[in-house]
Structure 1
Amino acid sequence: MYLVFGALLGTLGGLFGIGGGLIAIPLLGVLFGLDQQIAQGTALVMVVPNVMLALWRYHQRNRIERQHALPLAIMGFCFAWLGSIWAVGIDARTMRIGFVAFLIALSAYNFVRMFASRTTAASQMNYSWPWLGVLGAASGTMGGLFGVGGAVVATPVLTSLFGTSQVVAQGLSLALALPSTGVTLLTYAVHHQVNWGIGLPLAVGGLMSISWGVKVAHALPERLLRGLFCGFLVFCAVTLAFKV
């Protein structure tokens, strides 16, 4: 069952460039009754290898520029560590309420963007360093706190403010997510907030399917991909709200 569950999450993770953790966390809490921090730590066992493979697949299809990825990754790593230390000391119910609020805010932002005037992706990024570092710090903090790698924060900001296409934004977000999810998983594991018996088969299932999700992402129209991403966030928020 965990393998099948992991395969489904891996497909979604490849499709949206987020590693699958965002939907794994509410479902682990609702279906398996895990506390919020343990759900986040367990999801990260699957997310880290998924992000690694998805990042490679995105880079193969649409080259990720090193000068853009490095400031995101370095700042994301540092601030994800701080966010994860903060997360393990928070009450589980308070953390769950905060996570739902985070998803609702993110859903609302993406929903507004769906109806905003459409802008053409720029051939060159609108901003570079130090603004990419600022984005990496903010996304890393949220990723460390909520165990989602920061990609869900960085992707809409990269498309709306930095002028990238959706697939380029998702690739850069994965570059940000890889080091931040790694250090976040380590912090959660040290504080015994990981269920390895669930996390490892989820990871195997995810690795079996994430490449297919990346392939689908590159085949879909830009607007449809953004719409699916927005609906995905709303679904996660509603699912977890029933557990609060």
Structure 2
Amino acid sequence: MRSISDGALVKQQRLAAFGSGTVIGTLGGLIGLGGAEFRLPVLIGTFRFAALEAVILNKAMSLIVVASALPFRTSTVPFSSIAQHWDVIANLLAGSLLGAWLGADWATRLKSKTLYRIMAILLVAIALALLFGHGANTQGEPLFSGPIQVFSGAGAGFGIGVVASLLGVAGGELLIPTLVFLFGADIKLAGSLALAVSLPTMLAGFARYRRDESFAVLGENRSFVLFMALGSLAGAFLGGQLLGVVTSTVLLPLLAGILLISAAKIWRHR
């Protein structure tokens, strides 16, 4: 009876991982995020992973969503449009790669309680970015130009890289407002440019996490990772197809509310 019960529990966990991965992947593909902002509270609250383990699992899932969401969005934003803005991508990466490496280093040194509190504060900040940073829906003038824009882009990239590693997120929720206001990018183009910046940024953070023993959580939970990854891929595809169908005026306030609730739960987490 014990083996049957254990088998049923494993099956239930796999289904839950696939289902949550699908929902979160859809949100990520739709907005241009890795979906990790919503996945992190699920990993901690529902699946009971410790803070640093949840961050590493979160980053692995986000990598899958980001890598797949970019080509899934090409029907709306072709690769040629992204390539035309290679200088913007390079500008942000100049800061985000270093920030991702340092952020991962800090995360492995923090106590769990401190990391939970930082996570909660950053989730609130991301909720505000979603509400106010996605408000522009047309291409406008860049906030700065010339050397000031370059230095501002690298500085913003550094801060976003740190946040991405601390939470295990792709950073799109911060990259998109930066691209819209600092570089004057159209909101849909900004979503795809954010994905292009997020992928190498997350790889830099992952490279640092591999030096820490907590990275073993991926090997210890291979089945869980596989099913959530499959759900994330399915969701990323669905989100890419829904791009332009679901309006931001409906979606973004709902997502921001979810993040605020999640932040409160993580703050109180033990």
Q: What one-letter code is carried by the residue in structure 2 that aligns with 1:89? A: R
Which of 26, 43, 49 matches 1:34? 49
Q: Normalization by structure 2: what TM-score? A: 0.78
What is the CA distance between 1:228 and its match in structure 2?
4.1
Aligned length, in residue pairs: 241
What is the CA distance between 1:42 and its match in structure 2?
0.8
Q: Which residue of 2 aligns with 1:181?
A: 202
What is the CA distance between 1:101 and its match in structure 2?
0.9
Aligned pair 1:130/2:147, yes or no?
no
Which of 71, 87, 98 matches 1:78? 98
Contact 1:22–1:148, Cα closer than 8 Å, also in 2: yes
Which of 238, 241, 263 matches 1:215? 241
Any gaps of 5 or more consecutive residues in structure 1? Answer: none
Which residues of 2 match residues 170-209 of structure 1 at below 5 A? 170-194=191-215, 195-196=217-218, 197=221, 198-209=224-235
Aligned pair 1:104/2:130, yes or no?
no
Q: 1:203 to 1:192 in 2, by over 3 A?
A: farther
Q: Which residue of 2 aligns with 1:152?
A: 173
Q: Distance in 2 between matches of 1:226 and 1:97?
A: 24
Q: Distance in 1 between matches of 2:228 and 2:136?
A: 38
Q: What one-letter code is carried by the residue in structure 1 that aligns with 2:202? A: T
Which of 190, 199, 203 matches 1:169? 190
* Deviation readout 1:158-180 (Å, 9 max, x if unpaired): 33454433322222221221011
Q: Distance in 1 between matches of 2:226 and 2:208?
A: 17
* Deviation readout 1:22-55 (Å, 9 max, x if unpaired): 1111111111211111001011111112111112
Q: Which residue of 1 aligns with 2:30?
A: 15
What is the CA distance between 1:150 and its match in structure 2?
2.1
Q: Normalization by structure 1: what TM-score? A: 0.86
Bigger CA radius of gyration: 2
Q: Which residue of 2 aligns with 1:140?
A: 161
* Deviation readout 1:137-165 (Å, 9 max, x if unpaired): 11111112221122222223333454433
Q: Distance in 2 between matches of 1:120 and 1:189?
A: 39
Q: 1:212 to 1:119 in 2, by over 3 A?
A: closer
Contact 2:25–2:231, Cα closer than 8 Å, also in 1: yes
Q: What one-letter code is carried by the residue in structure 1 that aligns with 2:256? A: C
What is the CA distance between 1:4 and its match in structure 2?
2.3
Any gaps of 5 or more consecutive residues in structure 2? Answer: 1-14
Please, what is the CA RMSD of the aligned residues? Answer: 2.5
Contact 1:3–1:205, Cα closer than 8 Å, also in 2: yes
Which of 113, 120, 124 matches 1:93? 113
Q: 1:229 to 1:31 in 2, by over 3 A?
A: closer
> After alignment, is 15-24 or 118-127 more displaced?
118-127
Which of 66, 72, 87 matches 1:57? 72
What is the CA distance between 1:124 and its match in structure 2?
5.6
Q: Which residue of 2 aligns with 1:231?
A: 257
Aligned-residue sequence identity (percent) comes to 24
* Deviation readout 1:108-162 (Å, 9 max, x if unpaired): 4544568xxx656235644453332222111111112221122222223333454
> After alignment, is 215-224 or 80-89 more displaced?
215-224
Contact 1:53–1:210, Cα closer than 8 Å, also in 2: yes
Contact 1:77–1:179, Cα closer than 8 Å, also in 2: yes
